[in-house]
C-alpha cells in the first residue's frame, strides 16, 4: 500500500484518519486477518500480509480502511510453496 495524503489536508483531519487507521489495523491484527504489516523503508508505504477467507473479505477490509481514499494498493495472491517446512 502506497499512501498519498494531500499536503493541504487539514492537520486535524489527517491526525484523525491516521489514528483511526492504526486502530482499525490493530483490531484486524488481533482477529488474525491482518497477519503482518511492515513499513517499506524510506517510503510512506507498507507491505502487508492478510489471511482472509476469500476475495470479498479482503475487499471489505481494504475498502473500509480510513485512509482508503489516499491509498494505491497492489495485491499479490499467495499460495503455499512446496518447499516451505510448514507444508510438511
Ligand atoms: O502508514 C501506512 O502504511 C498506512 C497504514 C495501513 C495500516 C496502518 O496502520 O497504517
User: Domain-by-domain residue ranges, the chain?
Assistant: 2-87
- Counting from 1 in the atom list of ligand 1, the atom nearest the Cα of 34 is 7
Residue 66: phi, psi to the nearest 5? Answer: -55, -30
How remote is the CA of residue 11 from the centroid of ligand 1, in Å? 17
Q: From its phi and psi, is residue 32 left (phi > 0), alpha (psi between -120 and 50) or beta?
A: left
**ipTM of the shown complex:** 0.97
Per-residue pLDDT tens listing for the chain (88 residues) = 999 999 999 999 999 999 999 999 999 999 999 999 999 999 999 999 999 999 999 999 999 999 999 999 999 999 999 999 988 8
CA nearest to 25, candidates 71, 82, 87: 71
* Residue ranges lining ligand 1, Cβ < 6 Å: 1, 3, 21-22, 25, 46, 67
- Counting from 1 in the atom list of ligand 1, the atom nearest the Cα of 37 is 7
Q: Which CATH number fits domain 2-87: 1.20.1730.10, 3.30.70.1060, 3.40.50.300, 3.40.50.970?
A: 3.30.70.1060
How remote is the CA of residue 6 from the centroid of ligand 1, in Å? 16
Amino acid at each position: 500500500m502506497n499512501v498519498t495524503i494531500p499536503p493541504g489536508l487539514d492537520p486535524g483531519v489527517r491526525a484523525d484518519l491516521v489514528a483511526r487507521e492504526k486502530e482499525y489495523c490493530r483490531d484486524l491484527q488481533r482477529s488474525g486477518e491482518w497477519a503482518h504489516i511492515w513499513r517499506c523503508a524510506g517510503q510512506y508505504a507498507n507491505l502487508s500480509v492478510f489471511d482472509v477467507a476469500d476475495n470479498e473479505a479482503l475487499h471489505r477490509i481494504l475498502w473500509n480502511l480510513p485512509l482508503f481514499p489516499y491509498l494505491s494498493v497492489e495485491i499479490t495472491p499467495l499460495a503455499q510453496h512446496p518447499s516451505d517446512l510448514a507444508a510438511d
